[in-house]
Amino acid sequence: MTRKHARNAKMDKSGPLSIRVITHNIRYATQSPFQGEEPWQVRCPLVCSALAFNSNTPETFICLQEVLHTQLVDILESLNRSTAGSWSYIGVGRDDGKLAGEFSPIFYRPAIWHLERWETRWLSETPTVPSKGFDASSVRIVTIGHFVHVKTGENVLVLSTHLDDQGRQSRRESAKIILESIRSITSRHLFSAILLGGDFNSPPDDEAYKVMTSPDSIMEDIGAQVARTKHYGNDMTFTSFGHVDNKATRIDFIFCRKDDQVTYQTYAVLSNRFDDGIYHSDHRACVADLLLESGSTKDDH
């Protein structure tokens, strides 16, 4: 779709646009599982069926973390086999900007969302090249996609990220880099909504979360904005596998830009274990539903 076509498509309005965002750290396919952790070949069908079931809304974006390339291939094949409409993704491996290391991909349906442009930025002092930053224990990235809704022409910016689990400075500075990246992009392009999902490794009392939700931040935590009576499921998003590092915490979030013309409908933290006792991951998926008002593209200049 050209930009001219996208502009013309904005005339096709049929009321608010329903968007679902899922974010889930699926746990990478380790060769040395923790106690209580099943290998990826056991967890894979469980993770994939959960993603398929929860992405029936055509406008769904799926933001994942800790995804090795082999896992990415498994998930893409499963979504295309199990759900209506073909899927694609954006993202690169964090280690080399190609296939090596963990991805933080964004999955979407090209028939619903036209991909205008995308990029990966490294959460370091050199964000345009693969690099480890500050006091981080691992290389960290944010995946950024500019999507245009095919039917309405609405422009949406979607980001998926995974902050460091050990470096407090890295988490804090990474949050600042993400916010500055959003400001930079929105100084050049107009968006109806900006959505960010990820594993921030930062509970609400940690500096990175405080940066993301400060009065000066352009973003807000959807889970904190939705009334508790409309929450579904759990509160904690990290569970471990029941043995090692067994302290439940809330570290996975979905953010939206403040004052976007959206209505938050639901927010949920889903289960990651059922009757079979198998943990899909050591994290639970977060899901948010929102309604985007027609013709709500904002001018951030």
Would you state the pLDDT for residue 186? 97
d(CA 39, CA 37) in angstroms, rounded, equals 7
Helix (H) or strand (E) holding 120: strand 113-122
**Closest to 228 (Cα-Cα) out of 264, 263, 273:** 264
Tens of pLDDT along the chain (301 residues) come to 333 333 344 445 678 999 999 999 999 999 999 999 999 999 999 999 999 999 999 999 999 999 999 999 999 999 999 988 899 999 999 999 999 999 999 999 999 999 999 999 999 999 999 999 999 999 999 999 999 999 999 999 999 999 999 999 999 999 999 999 999 999 999 999 999 999 999 999 999 999 999 999 999 999 999 999 999 999 999 999 999 888 999 999 999 999 999 999 999 999 999 999 999 999 999 999 999 997 766 444 3
Would you state the pLDDT for residue 301? 36
Would you state the pLDDT for residue 12? 59
HSE, CB side, 13 Å, CA atoms: give it for residue 212: 33
Buried b (16+ CB within 10 A) or exposed e, 201-211: bbebebebbeb
Give the model confidence (pLDDT) of 169-192 as tens digits.
999 999 999 999 999 999 999 999
Phi, psi torsion values for 188, nearest 5 degrees: -115, -20
**Closest to 267 (Cα-Cα) out of 250, 289, 252, 283:** 289
Give the model confidence (pLDDT) of 192-216 as tens digits.
999 999 999 999 999 999 999 999 9
Would you state the pLDDT for residue 10? 42
Residue 186 near residue 194, CB atoms below 8 Å:
yes
**Structure tokens, 202:** 């930062």
SS3 of 200-246 = CCCCCCCHHHHHHHCCCCCEEEHHHHCCHHHEEECCCCECCCCCCCC
Domain annotation for the chain: domains and CATH numbers? 3-292 (3.60.10.10)
Sign of the CA dihedral running 176, 180, 255, 127: negative
Pairing of strands 113-122, 141-149: antiparallel
**Closest to 123 (Cα-Cα) out of 172, 166, 72:** 172
d(CA 227, CA 213) in angstroms, rounded, equals 17
d(CA 213, CA 221) in angstroms, rounded, equals 7
Residue with tokens 């090209």: 110
Residue 234 near residue 271, CB atoms below 8 Å:
yes
Stated pTM of the model: 0.94
Residue 233 near residue 269, CB atoms below 8 Å:
yes
